[in-house]
């Protein structure tokens, strides 16, 4: 009689499967967090770019207005 399917082996196999699932979910969570940080960074960079363009346009308009009223 072989001891291939003893309860101890089945238990360790279940624990191994659970461990693999936990590690898989941790990897998925880490990837989601990194992706979210990249997306937020890109959006914040774009918003900063737009605000800079608006600020530069406002400064140019202010200079033109000041030169006309000299």
Residue 1 inside a domain? The answer is no
Number of structural domains found in the chain: 1
Residue 50 inside a domain? The answer is yes
> Over the stretch 7-36, which tens digit does the pLDDT of each residue have?
555 556 777 888 899 999 999 999 999 999
**What is the pLDDT, as a whole number, of residue 54?**
98
Residue length, the chain? 70
pLDDT at residue 48 tops 70: yes
Residue 2 inside a domain? The answer is no
- Residue matched to tokens 């898989």: 24
- Provide the 8-state DSSP code for 2: -
Q: What are phi and psi of 2, to 5 degrees?
A: -95, 160
Return d(Cα 68, Cα 35) in angstroms, integer: 50
Tokens of 46: 């774009």
Q: Which domain holds residue 30?
A: 7-70
Tokens of 35: 């992706």
């Amino acid at each position: 009689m072989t001891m291939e399917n003893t309860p101890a082996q089945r238990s360790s196999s279940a624990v191994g499967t659970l461990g693999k699932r936990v590690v898989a979910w941790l990897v998925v969570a880490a990837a989601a967090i990194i992706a979210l940080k990249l997306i937020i960074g890109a959006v914040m960079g774009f918003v900063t770019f737009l605000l800079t363009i608006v600020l530069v346009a406002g400064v140019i308009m202010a200079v033109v207005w000041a030169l006309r009223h000299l």
